[in-house]
């Protein structure tokens, strides 16, 4: 897609100072990436670094490797705790392994050959596997990348391992603070701002959202029935919908292009085959069909838009760990932002 060619006829050649000022303002595209915890927005941010900033240096890569190892400890511990909550136990031979991961330092970031053997043994336990298959309904389970880590643990723990981009994208790490990335793209400068999605981090959102060009809001498709930590009478998706409502209808993004990313389509495709959405949404009629389920959830978000023309809201069904797909999606997103910004600046007519 040739964006430069498309935009070539949009600008007047007349030496109009006002139009020149508008053109200069359009050179910087500020995109704020928002969403509740574990929606995948930080994974998208990593993708942009991979695609537009040549990825990660050695120090960053090794840090992500340590995070993956920590994810293993946390994931196995969470499964053992879930077993205890349900009054279940692992096999007698593996109880010592369960005890080890309950007591181990979750944030050590290193792993010995002996610990790898413990992890493999515990992972193979029937109770642990049964809980893993029901991970969608475990209240306090967060490490959805655990199977990936266990599959690749020998490679990841090998001396001198350099994690791949795929490894890094699957890291599960709580985002705190503010991360930014700036890069040129189609003769513009993109400034991406990623802020943590936990409730304690959301107070920072207005501080970083000054004069935004666009908002990318991430929502996890698999959250429709997951209980909200600390408020288990509500689901994660209900919390996400409330935050989306506040952002899309609020003053901060009044003049910004708002784009909704319904993320984790890969996990949703697996989940909708196993879980009945009708249990959560009695009026849902789509059965186990992926497209019907995704469309139903999309309309839940669109129905919350009250202060904008809903036709101006762009929706993408995404899998943030798919680099090729994210590259194509970002290309589409930039086109959508360009069109709305040019129209609002009066440089083109309409949409």
pLDDT single digits (tens) 244-288:
999 999 999 999 999 999 999 999 999 999 899 999 999 999 999
Residues contacting residue 303 through CB under 8 Å, at least 6 positions apart: none
Encode pLDDT of 222-250 as tens digits: 999 998 888 889 999 999 999 999 999 99
Residues contacting residue 194 through CB under 8 Å, at least 6 positions apart: 33, 41, 42, 45, 175, 178, 179, 180, 181
Residue 134 phi/psi, 5° resolution? -105, 25
Residues contacting residue 16 through CB under 8 Å, at least 6 positions apart: none
Query: In this predicted structure, which of 78-92, 147-161, 179-193 has the lowest mean pLDDT?
Result: 179-193
Residues contacting residue 149 through CB under 8 Å, at least 6 positions apart: 68, 71, 72, 75, 156, 170
Q: CA–CA separation, 230 vs 222, rounded Å?
A: 19
Here the tokens at position 274 are 């196993």
Report angle CA 316, 139, 41 to the nearest 5 degrees.
30
Q: CA–CA separation, 189 vs 164, rounded Å?
A: 27
Average pLDDT estimate for 314-332? 95
pLDDT at 8: 36
pLDDT at 25: 64
Type and span of the H or E element at 341: helix 323-344
Is the CB of residue 163 less than 8 Å from the CB of residue 251? no
Here the tokens at position 145 are 């990348």
Residue owning tokens 């994690």: 163
pLDDT at 21: 63
Residue owning tokens 């077993």: 83
Distances (CA, A) of 339 to 211, 314, 326, 334, 335: 17, 12, 20, 9, 6
Residues contacting residue 159 through CB under 8 Å, at least 6 positions apart: none
Round the average pLDDT of the chain to a whole number and report it.
89
pLDDT at 324: 94
User: Model's pTM, two decimal places?
Assistant: 0.86
């Amino acid at each position: 897609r040739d964006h430069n060619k498309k935009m070539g006829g949009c600008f007047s050649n007349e030496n109009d100072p006002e139009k020149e000022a508008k053109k200069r303002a359009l050179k910087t595209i500020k995109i704020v990436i928002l969403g509740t915890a574990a929606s995948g927005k930080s994974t998208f941010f990593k993708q942009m670094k991979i695609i537009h900033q040549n990825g990660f240096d050695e120090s960053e890569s090794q840090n992500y490797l340590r995070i993956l190892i920590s994810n293993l400890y946390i994931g196995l511990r969470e499964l053992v705790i879930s077993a205890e909550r349900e009054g279940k136990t692992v096999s007698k031979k593996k109880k010592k392994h369960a005890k080890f991961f309950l007591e181990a330092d979750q944030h050590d970031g290193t792993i010995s050959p002996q610990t790898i053997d413990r992890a493999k043994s515990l992972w193979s336990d029937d109770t642990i596997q049964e809980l893993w298959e029901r991970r969608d309904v475990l209240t306090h389970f967060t490490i959805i990348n655990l199977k990936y880590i266990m599959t690749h643990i020998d490679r990841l723990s090998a001396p001198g391992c350099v994690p791949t981009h795929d490894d890094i994208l699957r890291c599960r790490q709580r985002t705190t603070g503010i991360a930014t990335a700036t890069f040129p793209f189609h003769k513009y400068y993109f400034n991406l701002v990623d802020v943590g999605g936990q409730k304690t981090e959301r107070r920072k959102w207005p501080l970083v959202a000054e004069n935004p060009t666009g908002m990318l809001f991430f929502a996890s498709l698999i959250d429709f029935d997951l209980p909200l930590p600390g408020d288990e009478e509500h689901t994660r998706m209900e919390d996400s919908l409330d935050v989306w409502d506040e952002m899309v209808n609020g003053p901060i993004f009044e003049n910004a292009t708002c784009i909704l990313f319904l993320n984790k389509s890969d996990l949703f495709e697996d989940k909708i085959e196993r879980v009945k959405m009708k249990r959560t949404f009695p009026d849902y009629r789509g059965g186990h069909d992926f497209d019907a389920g995704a469309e139903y959830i999309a309309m839940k978000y669109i129905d919350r838009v009250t202060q904008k023309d809903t036709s101006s809201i762009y929706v993408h069904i995404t899998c943030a760990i798919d680099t090729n797909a994210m590259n194509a999606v970002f290309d589409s997103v930039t086109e959508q932002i360009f069109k709305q910004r040019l129209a609002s600046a009066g440089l083109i007519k309409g949409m």
